[in-house]
Amino acid sequence: MGQNLPSATPRVARDLRVIIIGGGISGIGAAVKLLQAGFDNVTIFEKAASVGGTWRENTYPGIACDIPSHLYTFTFLPNPNWSQMFAPGREIRTYLEKVANKFGLRNRIKFSKEVVKAIYAAGQWQIETRDGEQIACDILISAVGVLHVPKYPNIPGLDTFAGRTFHSSRWDHGVDLKGKRVGIIGNGSSSAQIVPQIVPQVGQLYVFQRTPQWIFPIPNEQYPIWRRALWKMRPSLTTELYRTLLKASYSGFGVAVVGDQEELGKLRAGCEGYLESVRDPELRKKLTPSYEVACKRLVFSTQFYGAIQSPNCELITTAIEQVEPTGIRTSDGQLQECDVLILATGFQAHVFCRSIQLAGEEGLSLDQAWARGAESFEAVGLAGFPNFFMVGGPFSTVGNLSFVTCAELEADYIVKLLQTLVRENAKAIVPTPAAQQRFMGDVRSRGTKTVWESGCNSWYLDEHGHVAIWTKTPEEFVEMIKSGPRPADYRLVN
């Protein structure tokens, strides 16, 4: 993989000022890693009033992680207290708050501070927040996350609905669904978690499906108190469990999506077997996708098919024509009267840090740099943007590896870059255009071998039809990050 940049403990000869945008998984992980490496001048700008990122925003009924809990954990703070294999959202948020408290991050976070502009000038990043505050820093790290900007459907008349409407990531807990006629638009991961939770309480539930989803059944094992107590007494057990789960992620699903046909066949068999649990042949036909398993984000559930067969639940596959004050009218002229509309329509997955007005060297804007689609160098750097790094940026492993693992690895990579900056007494470090072009050519060429380019439309594809996530195996990603960065791929600015 080439020569590594040395990773000795930095001599902080000058006090690099680091600003991290975002107080979710990425921002918290990056801050801890920087502090552990001796970079003490770190500030997090968080647009909301508390930490947690997507696990703060999403509070809908049934929300849980679809990654095993113990793998959805930082290695520097194992968590023996997970109650089940796939942790509920409230536990993940509690864990992130614990990390922030234990490592003293709260005094380093500026809450309710949304960064709207960042301009690189005179060797520094000039930051501006929505409330007008201006501040300069040496290092800028985007940790805004991947799924953070809700995607609202463009349906005629949506604003005319007389009842209550809200996006699944902005759940209105003041709305009592008991006995109500509820319409939920969308049937992806969020909807698959919501539907089983609300079916027992609503009067009537209409699930509006545009495209059926493949669903893989994995039971959510509940961890007994005695096992959690054992993990707490013997921390080495949770460390070993993490390693076991990480190794397992290198095979199975992790390689199935990037070309391993044998493993993909196992996923297909599991999904098809679960689909057979739908008794009504007509309903089963409506729920059967026409594309390859895992081409879209695979849904994990053991409850959805049971819920969708409830007497008070109806799956509607006819296209929505418009929303009216009393409900949703489909293209066949039918009106489904509703009291509440839930928009489980996902997120704008390719925004990344586009919500910030970014400009790098010589005024290069992010829109110009990403004119052909979002790019990066090794998922962390960006040519033309010195001292700017991303955690969870384009071509991170959001498709086949735990995002927490990914974020921690990328934070380690950034630390190595900053150590080089200090050691070489340079003003800035930035990937070369040639290195980025080579990286992009490699990951995009591998994209054609993935299941994500097998013929469906998904949020894994950008506006140009390119896969915008890591296209190789999880093990290759770990190897790349741990063996890098390489001196020849970066330019030092003195």
Report the alpha-carbon distance of residue 391 to residue 31 in Å, rounded.
11
Can you give the pLDDT at residue 383?
Answer: 98
Q: Are residues 110 and 176 in the same domain?
A: no
- Name the helix (H) or strand (E) containing 270: helix 261-275
The number of folded domains in the chain is: 2
pLDDT digits (tens, 9 = 90+) for 132-156: 999 999 999 999 988 778 999 999 9
The CA radius of gyration of the chain, in Å to the nearest whole number, is 23
Residue 10 included in any domain = no
DSSP assignment of 306-375: HHHTSTTEEEE-SPEEEEETTEEEETTS-EEE-SEEEE---B-TT-TTTTSEEE-GGG-BHHHHTTTS--
The candidate with the shortest Cα–Cα distance to 20, out of 134, 109, 112, 98, is 109
* Whether 415 and 383 share a structural domain: yes
Find tokens 């930095």 and name the residue. Answer: 10
Smallest CA-to-CA distance from 142 within 382, 367, 373, 378 is with 382
For 135-173, give the secondary structure using H, E and C: EEECEEEECCCCCCCECCCCCCCHHHCCCEEEEHHHCCC
Neighbours of 179 (CB within 10 A): 11
Which among 295, 313, 343 is the end of a domain?
A: 343
Among 343, 376, 396, the domain-final residue is 343
From the CB of residue 305, how many other CB atoms can be counted at a distance below 10 Å?
21
CA distance 169 to 349: 14
Residues 97 and 25 occupy one common structural domain:
yes
Based on the fold, state whether residues 295 and 376 are members of the same structural domain: no
- Tell me the residue range of the domain where 311 lies: 158-214+276-343
Find, among 118, 138, 133, 144, the residue nearest to 358 by Cα: 118
Structural domain includes residue 287:
yes
SS3 assignment for 183-209: EEECCCHHHHHHHHHHCCCCCEEEEEC
Which two tokens mark 374?
A: 């979002």
Asked whether residue 231 is assigned to any structural domain, the reply reads: no
Together in a domain, 83 and 120: yes
- The pLDDT score that the predictor gives to residue 466 is 87
The enclosing domain of 39 has a CATH number of 3.50.50.60
- 297 and 409 share one domain: no
* Residue 289 and residue 364 share a domain: no
Which pLDDT value is given to residue 14?
A: 58
Q: Verify that 354 and 452 share a domain, yes or no.
A: yes
Q: Is the distance from CB of 286 to CB of 212 less than 8 angstroms? A: yes
Please tell me the distance from the alpha carbon of residue 423 to that of residue 311, in angstroms, as a whole number: 68
Reported residue count of the chain is 494
Q: Which amino acid is at 475?
A: E
Handedness of CA 459, 23, 238, 218 (dihedral sign): negative
Q: Do 171 and 133 reside in the same domain of the chain?
A: no
> Does 168 share its domain with 314?
yes
Same domain, 333 and 479: no
Place of tokens 């990043």: 125
Please tell me whether residues 373 and 473 are part of one structural domain.
Answer: yes
Q: How far apart are CA 469 and CA 418, in angstroms?
A: 25
CA 299 from centroid of its chain's CA atoms: 15
pLDDT beneath 70: ranges in the chain: 1-14
CA atoms within 13 A on the CB side of 35: 19
The per-residue pLDDT for 145 is 87
Instruction: Give the closest residue to 433 by CA, choosing from 375, 476, 475.
Output: 375
Q: What secondary structure letter does DSSP report for 302?
A: S
